[in-house]
Structures are given as structure tokens and as C-alpha cells.
Structure 1
Amino acid sequence: MASIEDIRAKTDDQLSADMTELKREQFNLRFQSATNQLERPARIKEVRREIARIKTLQGERARAAKA
């Protein structure tokens, strides 16, 4: 799990790439969960929160660009 400081240090392109990768991982975790092959159930929560952190930062940057 990346800290908020690590996430803030990334560029918008890097955040978009991370978001794509996290969405892909979330999709795979859902499939593993449905087939009872999930090794770390807590990873679902971690990925979801990481996605939320990135979306929050992207929203902050978008609002700052408008102001």
C-alpha cells in the first residue's frame, strides 16, 4: 500500500496508469473471490481504498486547476 505522500509525488499520467492497473487487479480479485481462490481477502479492501485515494487526489488537482 502506497502512502499518500508517494501518491502525491506522482504525475497525472502515472496516477492514470496506476488507476488502470488497480482496476485490473480489482477485477481479477473479484473473479478469484467468486471462484473461492482468493488468497488474501483483505487485498480487496486495500485495492478499493487505493483507488479512492487516487480518485480523491485527481479531484483535488482538477479543482485546483479550475481555481
Structure 2
Amino acid sequence: MKASELRAKDVAALEQEVKDLLKAHFGLRMQKGTQQLGNTASLRLTRRDIARAKTILAEKKKGAAQ
């Protein structure tokens, strides 16, 4: 997901997005562990999406606190 799409969401939607991405990443890790994952690059992409969403979430929370 692009950063511009994430910035358009509110804090609650971002928290839900992070939760969904973490679940997806867990599923991918389990597939990798059982040798069922064909595209291992999806792990990296999901991990980066999680980091991107968490960064934007922290920015929004910091901006709301000020």
C-alpha cells in the first residue's frame, strides 16, 4: 500500500490496517515454514508495509498530541 493511501486514513483505520498486515505476515511466515510459500518476496513487502503503516500512525498520533 502506498504512503499516500495510508495518510488518507484516520488513526483507527491505520490501527486496523496494522493489525491486518500483522495477521497476513504471520500467515506468510507459516507458509514459509511449511514450504508452501512460492513468492518469498511477499514477506519483505508485507514487512515494509507494516513499517510504513506504523510510521504514519506514529506521525498522526504525535500530530494529534501537539
TM-score, length-normalised on structure 2? Answer: 0.90
Unaligned runs of 5+ in 1: none
Task: Please tell me the root mean square deviation across aligned C-alpha atoms, in Å.
Answer: 1.0
Measured after TM superposition, the shift of residue 45 of structure 1 is 0.5
Task: Name segments (4+ residues, structure 1) moved above 2 Å.
Answer: none
CA deviation string 1:13-41 (max 9, x = no partner): 11111111111111111111111110211
- How many residue pairs match? The answer is 66
Measured after TM superposition, the shift of residue 3 of structure 1 is 1.1
Distance 2:55 2:17 in 1: 14
Unaligned runs of 5+ in 2: none
Matched, 1:62 2:61: yes
Measured after TM superposition, the shift of residue 4 of structure 1 is 0.8
Name the structure, 1 or 2, with higher relative contact order (CA <8 Å, separation 6+). 2
% of aligned pairs identical? 33
Distance 1:24 1:66 in 2: 28
Measured after TM superposition, the shift of residue 63 of structure 1 is 1.6
Letter in 2 for 1:3: K
TM-score, length-normalised on structure 1? Answer: 0.89
Letter in 2 for 1:11: D
Which residues in structure 2 correspond to 1:1-67 (within 5 Å)? 2-67=1-66
Residues 11, 61 of structure 2: 8 Å contact kept: no
Measured after TM superposition, the shift of residue 66 of structure 1 is 2.4
